[in-house]
Structure 1
Amino acid sequence: MVTRTRFDDSACPVARSVDAIGDWWSLLIVRDAFDGSRRFGEFQRSLGVAKNILTARLRSLVAGGVLASVPASDGSAYREYVLTEKGKELFPVIVALRQWGERNFFTPGEPHSELVDRREGERLRPLEVLAADGRRLDPGDTAVHKVPAP
């Protein structure tokens, strides 16, 4: 069996984030949790993922503090999965992926799901990366200050 490369001790925040959430099933589980899924069966039906893979991803997301396993809200013996504060902080990531996908993987006018503001019913403005003073930044406007190797 191939050993998975770990990045949980990397000096790079992107590498550590990918280590925690870096496969498509985990991101889609988080997406579904934002959409209201809470039970194993709901995730399984929505994603069509094998039960063993879903079990492993849910355990990993709970262990990583992205989801919490809580008693079912209806008082039954089932467990539910809810986003933690750490998990809720992934909202801009999910929105960014959605908007990137809308721009790059759909033809003009092609139907797709839409994320809208509940109060106004309007689509969201495109996300922007802003400087501390409010200026819009592009990749060329930023630099990464790397930590020196030990």
Structure 2
Amino acid sequence: MQKKTFSDINCAIAQTLEQIGDGWTLLILRNAFHRMRHFDQFQENLGIPTNTLSNRLKKLTESGILERRPCAHDKRAFEYRLTDKGLDLYPVIVTLFQWGERWYSQPDGPRLELIEKATDIPIPEVKVRGADGNALHAREVKVVVGPGGGEHATDLVKHHG
């Protein structure tokens, strides 16, 4: 039987997946970062079934990633805006975007480019960086159990080597 929830796993990644680990949810977040705000905009752009969209927006709102509020120009309609918690997901979305462009690129070049507004220069690739600012690869990072870690974290670190 397939696991339907990650809520009982004491792991930061599992807890994050519980909130945003669905393909539709990630695409909704992508669109929110592109300043899409209205239900009909999400639905039209993604071609997502309305009940699926409604469920994902509700979950994102309940988890504090999006905020639902009345539209400024039409008080009968609502818009969805990223909260500070949601904005903190930007590096995650950018990393997924850059990975996808690297490994599933189009022959004619990138589908979109991310340009820094202040300089008009493309942003660099998101990397894990050490204290000196140099990029680190996975083999250059060691994992240790933190004060909030439990048995699951200890088992995971055992296999990290």
- TM (norm. structure 2) is 0.84
CA shift digits 1:51-87 (9 cap, x unpaired) = 0000000001001110010110214310110000000
Per-residue deviation at 1:143?
Answer: 2.5
Per-residue deviation at 1:116?
Answer: 1.5
**Aligned counterpart, 1:80:** 79
Q: What amino acid sits opposite 1:136 in the alignment?
A: A
Corresponding residue SS for 1:76: coil
Tell me: CA distance 1:122–1:134, structure 2 relative to 1, closer, same or farther (3 Å): closer
Alignment map for 1:1-150 (pairs within 5 Å) = 5-146=4-145, 147-149=149-151
Per-residue deviation at 1:111?
Answer: 4.7
Q: What amino acid sits opposite 2:150 in the alignment?
A: P
**Aligned counterpart, 2:156:** none
Moved over 4 A (4+): none
Tell me: CA distance 1:111–1:129, structure 2 relative to 1, closer, same or farther (3 Å): closer
Q: What amino acid sits opposite 2:135 in the alignment?
A: R
**What is the distance in 1 between the residues matched to 2:139 and 2:118?**
36
Cα RMSD after superposing both structures: 1.9
Where does the alignment leave 5 or more consecutive residues of structure 2 unmatched? 153-161
Corresponding residue SS for 1:32: helix
Where does the alignment leave 5 or more consecutive residues of structure 1 unmatched? none
Per-residue deviation at 1:37?
Answer: 0.6
Q: Any conservation in 1 of the 2:10–2:150 contact (CA below 8 Å)?
A: no
- TM (norm. structure 1) is 0.90
**What is the distance in 1 between the residues matched to 2:62 and 2:73?**
24
Identity of matched residues, % = 37
How many residues are matched? 149
Per-residue deviation at 1:144?
Answer: 2.6
Corresponding residue SS for 2:56: helix
